[in-house]
Chains A and B, each alone.
Chain A
């Protein structure tokens, strides 16, 4: 278990790796183990990735795994304020609490879980997904219209790939990569990681925007105290996490968003969310660890895994000759309880270890951005490669979403609604169609639980709109910080125009499809065009207000460009594009170290010795960690075959490609 925990901490901390990959790597070693030992190893790893993924979320504004996306909204601003240790203290405490909470619920609910599973069919899951979408209201930052549009764009992107009910493909443009729904990891890394790295590189700043004050150990204890102060929030979010884990079909990626949305909406004083409110860290971190225990319940009791991670654990169960079902509560009860204890101890152990290391990790916040950017670029690119089906399409996705994320960030478009739409789109369409077809119409709308959830949707919507109105009345500072609150009407107009184009083309294409294929994209795209026109008008009004202050159009455009650091940002994006293009020619193992060398030497003005050392270390990571340890499939570049032909037969070509 300790080995599993240590590997799990590493897998969670590096963006793009995650617990699923860790379990896949360890799975072959468990084939000949005793069941209890096998599960100690695998569960030890699986349980703690949601604890250590906080590190990247807080320090870099990059989700370590899909389960820690919402943590960045307040964790990263805390790091910017030099309060990373406090964020860690709170996050690790509630992670351990959430993990133990989930394990206890697993232990006591196994014999009585059947009614919960049977009460949540497609209609209920559809309504629950709608409830998740309504959270957009509390994640929209300054503009509900832009938040809604972000969500609609996410929903539209989720329709890429095979349709739900017939074998017809949507928006593939004859590329293999788009035959399936876009993988979440490259999209999320692009949306969040690339803009943050770009900011560090372009402005040449450290993560912490304050002077290097002494980060005393007491700061971690501040976070622990915060966790205890908000114990009721942590308990509620742990319960939400466990419950969502139990339900097959929602998935771990949504848990932290729902918990975050709940924290915002249930708080009377919520104006600091998105600017470094510790409750914005506590809520998702309590939930994402609790979901592990919850997801194990249906997997053990019925063989119905609640997530991909539990599906792999289920596979391990079968490999060692066990079957889920009643036997796990009778003859194999000791194995079930060994899982519970593993979850408990692994969560506590990981939190303890990470608290010991947290102060050292927090010091990264004061390191020059130029030293952080190259290394993180390597992990972000390789994380996207790994999470995006090891294809060049994953890097193109990363870059496209990176540009989109940058434009959204600098022009006041909140990014979380887009992610929410992306995650929930498939679930919403799939479960809606299943509900209609299985019930031969809309009779399912009168089911009691559906009506109850519909009521919750309406209440949530009401409070979301009310909250935004109150916030607008109370806001006086135009340059308010936080997600979706930046003001740049010129750049925002460009985004609006681009969206009108995207939604129009999507509608035009969808008109050609049979109704069951084209209905969902049309339901999304047609209203989106109207809403985009409204936001474009709002941006136009904003630009006109600027014009009245300074009646020179060129000056306004120049100011917008300067405010967004557009010129240097475009150069940075060009460098990333260069990475992709050069990879086609010479492969990743050479391109990424070369990029790091060039970045440090020419962009960062660092010494050549440092640049060479950094590049060599990155090459070692690529070759020995990603290639030899993880066995990752690298891109086969154009020069590989010709070079292999002239190199000696025994030359280890894996050192280069």
Chain B
């Protein structure tokens, strides 16, 4: 009798598990909200809209896919929302980067645990470019002239933002003294500040390079693209190629040419970590309790969408290059690396974010 009960229960459990796992996921009549953790007018939202336009056809049931903006707190508001209050049925997906710098240095306000999210995939890793005014402190005739300059002003968007950090770190590594001013909110305001000679150096993202500078500032001869910052592939151990950024040397090559060898110090530790793990700005992830069968279906749809020629054509029209996409083991390796920052990098980022001087009383 006991044996019979045991077999019966085993079969019942197996049937239940089998049925729940193989149950066809169907999003017919549903609406999937892509939550962008940034403002409606920015580049991240534009990318999300292109992605959303084609996403539906790769999902069973072809649901309506809409983009929602929940900006604020450097992206934390939107991510916190999905993590703490988001739907668990795959109908709310974050589109945007997790704040890995903030997590490592203990920034307040972050309520999520990256590994707990159901990850569809990492996407991004496009290069950044550092640009300076050509008339900076007596003028620049060749890129190497920057080594003779000091005291100029470098601009950044928000504390801890990629644009500011990737302006600061290279000059710190090269030992060029400059004054960093953060708070320009967005790339257009940074460009306006550069036009006004309020700042003389900045870093822009891949799209910003083409939209704001290549066709205007650089074309008119008012600026020089000093060096690019391609992302580092932790799987192959090499920097990724960015052939669409023509004639701009890679920062590491620039350094090697002028100083020889590999840099060292906290800024370099921070730079290596940043370009390796923290440039996947178009990543997508869902509430931790999203069922596995739904996650698998959406992971496949995510992959199919990035590989869709129609989507790629539209994306390249705007971005000039496709994003790097990672899933599975490669994505897991990125998360592992992102969450294990070296002490030197931590020191650097803490200082940059102003975390070290958080409270007067505590001091």
- Interface of A toward B, CB cutoff 8 Å: 20, 24, 27-28, 31, 114, 117-122, 161-169, 172, 176-177, 179-180, 248-249, 298, 302-305, 308, 311-312, 314-315, 318-319, 321, 323-327, 389-391, 430, 433-434, 437-438, 440, 511-516, 518, 631, 633, 636, 652, 654
Contacts and interface: CB of A to CB of B under 8 A. Distances in A.
B40 A636 contact: no
B40 A308 contact: yes
A514 B42 contact: no
Nearest to A321: B317
Contact of B181 (A168, A434, A514): A434
A314 B358 CA distance: 38
Ranked 8 nearest A-B pairs via Cβ: A166-B354, A180-B72, A311-B41, A179-B73, A325-B216, A121-B196, A167-B353, A631-B66
Interface in B200-245: 207, 210-212, 215-216, 219-220
A121 B193 contact: yes
B360 interface: yes
B160 interface: yes
Contacts of A122: 193, 198
18 contacts: A28-B49, A117-B196, A121-B193, A176-B76, A176-B84, A179-B72, A248-B188, A312-B41, A315-B45, A324-B211, A389-B77, A434-B183, A434-B198, A438-B181, A513-B359, A514-B354, A515-B360, A652-B29
B361 interface: yes
B97 interface: no
Nearest to B185: A430
Nearest to B67: A24
Given A167-B107, A303-B188, 11 more contacts: A121-B196, A161-B72, A163-B159, A163-B354, A167-B74, A167-B159, A172-B109, A308-B39, A326-B215, A326-B216, A633-B33
Given A169-B73, A308-B39, A312-B41, A514 B31 contact: no
Given A167-B159, A176-B80, A514 B358 contact: yes
B189 interface: yes
Nearest to B200: A438
Contact of B87 (A248, A512, A636): A636
Interface in B155-207: 158-160, 179, 181-185, 188-189, 191-193, 195-199, 207
Nearest to B199: A438
A303 B211 contact: yes
Contacts of A31: 50, 53, 314
Contacts of B39: 308
Nearest to B52: A28
A298 B188 CA distance: 10
Interface string B38-61: 011110011001101100000000
Contacts of A298: 192
Nearest to B101: A167
Given A162-B74, A389-B71, A633-B33, A511 B360 contact: yes
A430 B182 CA distance: 10
Contact of B49 (A27, A117, A163, A636): A27
Interface in B111-160: 111, 153, 158-160
A323 B74 CA distance: 28
Contact of A179 (B109, B196, B358): B109
Contact of B191 (A27, A166, A303): A303
Interface string B82-119: 00110100000000000000100001110100000000
Given A121-B196, A248-B188, A513-B359, A433 B73 contact: no
Contacts of A120: 196
Contacts of A121: 193, 196-198
A292 to B, nearest CB: 15
Given A167-B353, A633-B33, A176 B77 contact: yes
Contacts of A119: 196
Interface residues of B, number: 74
Contacts of B361: 512
Nearest to B73: A179
A169 B196 contact: no
Contacts of B198: 121-122, 434, 438
Contacts of B111: 176
B185 A165 contact: no
Given A315-B46, A327-B215, A179 B29 contact: no
A167 B46 contact: no
A167 B52 CA distance: 31
A152 to B, nearest CB: 22
Nearest to B75: A179
B159 A179 contact: no
B259 interface: no
Nearest to A518: B360
A25 B41 CA distance: 13
A430 B215 contact: no
Nearest to B33: A633
A166 B159 contact: yes
B70 interface: yes
Contacts of B158: 162, 167
Contacts of A305: 41, 188
Given A27-B49, A312-B40, A514 B359 contact: yes
Contacts of B317: 319, 321
B78 to A, nearest CB: 9
A179 B71 CA distance: 9
B49 A308 contact: no
Given A20-B40, A303-B188, A321-B317, A514 B360 contact: yes
B274 interface: no
B211 A512 contact: no
Nearest to A164: B183
B77 A179 contact: yes
B159 A304 contact: no
Contacts of A434: 181, 183-184, 193, 198
A631 B67 CA distance: 9
A438 B183 CA distance: 11
B196 A165 contact: no
A566 B153 CA distance: 56
Contact of A165 (B45, B46, B183, B210): B183
Contact of A169 (B45, B67, B108, B181): B108
